[in-house]
Amino acid sequence: MLIKNDDASLTKEVTDPQVFKARRKIIQAAIALGATASVSAAANEKKAYQHVPIGPYSKKLQVTDYEDAINYTNFYEFSTNKKDSTVLAQALKISPWQVLIEGEVDKPGLYDFEDILKKVNLEERIYRFRCVEAWSMVVPWIGFPLHQLIKQVQPTSRAKFVEFTTVLQPDVMPGLRYSSLKWPYTEGLRMDEAMHPLTLMATGMYDEKLPKQNGAPLRLVVPWKYGFKSIKSIIKIRFLENMPSTAWNTSAPGEYGFYANVNPAVPHPRWSQARERVLGASIFTPKRKTEKFNGYGEQVAALYSGMNLKKYY
């Protein structure tokens, strides 16, 4: 959800001394390996996804600058500072990568990431996404609709919800030492939300493979919800009969609901969410009106027919 730029929120941008020390070590290691601290596209396979077609739900919008998108991220396992996490996340180990599928499915198991990619089609680009921060972003995410993977593992009739879990690597994640959230980070969707063709498992952005700070190698993108729903670096997907607890909802249930649908009519308890500022814009640039369901109401409003979206926020 949006975080107002007042004095209280700005204190979150101050780097913790321990994180700063870890950051310096990682920068030094990166230099030794011939890497760059700016984490440019050269760290990925150049234009790995340049031939992926534009999906049917993409929006013709001005895309956020690549450098802004990769250098202003929320990854609390590394740091609450949005710029420090970009550097610290380079220590994340993403190869080999496996995803555990469990719960109410006929085909549970530990799946290699590369095997998952062989079974799905990298056929979608979504150009609209809202961050947790006090900014909105327009990002060309690249990946496959989550329903392709769900159909592969064959959920049972008892599966009503899907829970996702982020990786824990304590040796490289200094943020785990702090109780800013309950670790590991978890998120969840109702089954019909997970099966919607707009719900994306992202493996890339801007024609490239996902940078580590943006959730490599596999993250969720749910473009009609606030950014904290789009969990990064997924290692487990569990199918459940009952609604799972989630990281932000557990931490602050009065502020972060399970559904987290973008809704300008529902203010955060401490600030309005009726307007937003685009990342990269000057603070003097007028904010734009926030769109309900982030502009995807025509596609997703039916999922919540009859629901009180102020109660189920």
The number of folded domains in the chain is 1
- Asked whether residue 255 is domain-assigned, the answer is no
Q: Which of 291, 113, 312, 275 minimizes the C-alpha distance to 193?
A: 312
Instruction: Quote the tokens at residue 115.
Output: 């095997």
- Asked whether residue 291 is domain-assigned, the answer is no
What pLDDT does residue 123 have?
Answer: 82
Q: Name the residue range of residue 120's domain.
A: 7-249
Q: What are the C-alpha distances in Å from 124 to residues 50, 198, 251, 275?
A: 12, 9, 33, 28
The three-class DSSP label of residue 20 is helix
- Asked whether residue 178 is domain-assigned, the answer is yes
> 81 and 12 in contact (C-beta within 8 Å)?
yes
- Asked whether residue 313 is domain-assigned, the answer is no
- Asked whether residue 306 is domain-assigned, the answer is no
What pLDDT does residue 26 have?
Answer: 53
Question: Percent of the chain, pLDDT > 90?
Answer: 67
- Asked whether residue 19 is domain-assigned, the answer is yes
- Asked whether residue 21 is domain-assigned, the answer is yes
Comparing 30 with 283, which gets the higher pLDDT?
283
* Whole-structure pTM value: 0.85
Q: What is the CATH number of the domain that holds 164?
A: 3.90.420.10
pLDDT tens for 224-252 read 999 999 999 999 999 999 999 999 999 99
pLDDT tens for 187-223 read 999 999 999 999 999 999 999 999 999 999 999 999 9
Give the dihedral sign, CA 214/228/178/184.
negative
pLDDT tens for 76-132 read 999 999 899 999 999 999 999 999 999 999 999 999 999 999 999 888 888 776 554
- Asked whether residue 51 is domain-assigned, the answer is yes
What pLDDT does residue 265 have?
Answer: 93
What pLDDT does residue 130 have?
Answer: 59
